């Protein structure tokens, strides 16, 4: 079950990165890589908690909400770029 959530939440960033990698010129790839890594470091922490099973405790819910909201914004941004 954790793998399904991980794929669901990680796919917007990955799709957006692959799309922009094809569209942007070669000089912008270094900038794109830095931005991608910077914005996905916090999500890496959540992914580790999700795989180990320590994510869904009652005390962790307030800390998870911003990351889920971030993912929803990622899906919306990905949809806007696709349009």
Burial of 65 by CB count in 10 Å (0-12 exposed, 13-18 middle, 19+ buried)? Answer: exposed
Confidence (pLDDT) at 60: 56
How much is the pLDDT for 2?
A: 61
pLDDT of residue 61: 58
- Please give the pLDDT value at position 56: 61
Quick check: 12 and 74 in contact, CB under 8 A? yes
> Cα–Cα distance between 78 and 74 in angstroms, integer?
6
Provide the domain count of the chain.
Answer: 1
Instruction: Round to whole Å and give the CA distance between 49 and 63.
Output: 11
32: containing domain: 2-82
Torsion of CA 50, 64, 11, 76, to 10 degrees: 170
pLDDT, block means (10 residues), the chain with 83 residues:
66 80 85 81 74 64 69 75 69
């Amino acid at each position: 079950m954790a793998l399904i959530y991980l794929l669901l939440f990680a796919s917007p960033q990955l799709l957006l990165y692959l799309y922009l990698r094809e569209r942007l010129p070669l000089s912008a790839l270094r900038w794109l890589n830095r931005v991608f890594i910077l914005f996905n470091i916090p999500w890496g922490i959540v992914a580790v908690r999700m795989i180990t099973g320590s994510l869904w405790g009652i005390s962790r819910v307030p800390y998870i909400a911003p990351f889920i909201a971030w993912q929803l914004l990622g899906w919306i941004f990905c949809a806007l770029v696709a349009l």
